[in-house]
Structure 1
């Protein structure tokens, strides 16, 4: 069975979708079968991988409220091992439509369960809110990865997100874990960026990934070309950081060597 990781932070502009796209692409480049699920009505995860809205044969909305199997909604990308279930602005209405539905928090989980053994990783890109769409992602996921920008207000709202995660663990998804905090938008020239890194690492310790994503022009350019950074500029600092993140994640999942003594 594959692992489901949701990328969540209710603050906008923290590099959430950039992380979802480029982490998924990094895992796929290592020949890990990867599915990216876009739960953000902006639909940037799909467009950032080159999907055109007019060519879509189905979206995550159809899985949540249309009754279509998720296997019919999967779209290929330029990377052989990476596929995506896209979203469109139609998903905005799902927040309202889900309110009166039975098992409304479990819609995404029930949709993705048949696909879990077909992928090594399923990455879910959440919207910048803590509504029903994000709740569905948290109920579905095995773990949560939180992008945190290296700026003054970095920790603002983080306690609210961790509180929500705790509530989900208590009532809807007891096995949900914290995958880790990813520091993003790091500017080595700014003292505040170094202060934020030190503060976050000091407080959260080993819950913080070693990989740090810098502010990088190439990272901000590649979505307009519909490519992940690994296909746009593999030599850029942004690409190096997401490849490092992918390797760090895969090392965590590698089988631990046996400590049993050989006779």
Structure 2
């Protein structure tokens, strides 16, 4: 077993280096320390065969549970909700059991999916606000896939949001940042993927979302001012990894609303790739297109409304790669450098 596979298995098991050390010592009767695990993962020392065998066994016998994917950026208008909706649909379209949770008090995803009957759900106590603020079981607020009251079809399970959720930032309770993770745990085995649309800020709701996640994608528009704040959200992700969720993985930064015909977009995208070269992968860009506006006006998801459009297929390719745990589609920096010159 090589170092990358060891780390991937550890993250899949949602164990920190200290926790995997304790588990290996318990099973093998050894006295490995945390620096030993670090040396294995950094290819400083070979991984013993019996350690590899135990880790493979742990992976093969673990109870299957959903992977939690969070879309996060402290800036609004970067395509975060659009990305959440289209990735949730893309994963569902390839046969995955998907739950989308709207963690944004502005409830943009909720408005896009549920249109006019969200007020009824709030009165019935069926929003994420009732889960986070009033400890209601998450299972009781899930809207199941199927036909909606207005005749449209919902292709994945969904949990709606409400402005009351904004009260979360005023709460000061021990361990409150684990509230979403605790809510998800009882239903996690019911899904392959749980997609979380985090709010456009770096407050408690974003921390809570990241603390519950296995992986995070950061959408960002290819606009000069938008890319300036990417370092801030990546820094926050790093703090969450160190303090709350060591298994959190930054899957990449997702450029959105990209127009390859505009020189400024190409220059910004190249700058983003160079800026993040040693910090995070830059995923394949999502083109700017009227398909998204047309779909939103029709209360539909763009990938569902225009499945073969070049503007929407990047979401499908990304969903397929995420689910297959294969290499994610990245921006081709070499080609970009040629066009910028």
Over 3 Å counting, the alpha-carbon distance change for 1:77 and 1:45 in structure 2 is farther
Match of 2:234 among 140, 162, 180: 162
Q: Which residue, 303, 323, 328 being the options, matches 1:230? A: 303
Alpha-carbon separation, structure 2, partners of 1:124 and 1:83: 12
2:264 corresponds to: 192
1:23 maps to which of 68, 84, 87: 87
CA contact (8 A) 1:150 1:185 kept: yes
With 112-121 and 50-59 compared, the bigger mean Cα shift is at: 50-59
Matches of 1:93 and 1:185, distance apart in 2: 32
Corresponding position: 1:144 with 2:208: no
Residue 208 of structure 1: aligned partner: 282
Describe how 1:36-51 pairs up with structure 2 within 5 A.
Answer: 36-51=100-115
Please tell me whether the aligned partners of residues 48 and 223 of structure 1 are also in contact (alpha carbons under 8 angstroms). yes
Written as runs of structure 1 = structure 2, the 5 A alignment for 1:248-263 is 248-252=321-325
Distance in 2 of aligned mates of 1:180 and 1:115 = 27
Within the alignment, does 1:8 sit opposite 2:72 as a pair? yes
| 2:7 corresponding residue in structure 1 | none
Matches within 5 A, 1:35-74: 35-51=99-115, 52-56=117-121, 57=124, 58-74=126-142
> Secondary structure, in 3 states, of the residue corresponding to 1:144?
strand
What whole-Å deviation, never above 9, does each CA across 1:95-135 have from its counterpart, x for those lacking one?
Answer: 21x22x23211111100111111111111101110000101
Residue in structure 1 matched with residue 162 of structure 2 by the alignment:
88
- Residue of structure 1 equivalent to 2:21: none
How many pairs are equivalent? 251
Higher relative contact order at CA 8 Å, sep ≥6: structure 1 or structure 2?
1
Q: Could you tell me how far apart the structure 2 residues matched to 1:221 and 1:245 are?
A: 22
Offset at residue 235 of structure 1 (A)? 3.2
Contact 1:4 1:143 in 2 (8 A): yes
**Mean CA deviation greater in 154-163 or 15-24:** 154-163
| Cα offset, 1:81, TM superposition | 5.2
Give structure 2 stretches of 5+ with no counterpart: 1-64, 147-152, 328-341
How does 1:81-160 map onto structure 2 within 5 Å?
82-96=156-170, 98-99=171-172, 101-160=173-232
Rate the CA distance shift 1:150–1:23 in 2: closer, same or farther, 3 A: same
Q: 2: CA distance between counterparts of 1:195 and 1:139? A: 34
- Aligned 8 A contact 1:181 1:209 in 2: yes
Q: Distance in 2 between matches of 1:253 and 1:68?
A: 36
CA contact (8 A) 1:34 1:122 kept: yes
SS in 1 for 2:325: helix
Cα distance, 1:241 vs. partner? 2.2
CA RMSD of aligned residues (A): 1.9
Using the size of structure 1 for normalisation, the TM-score is 0.89
**Aligned-pair distance for 1:85?**
0.7
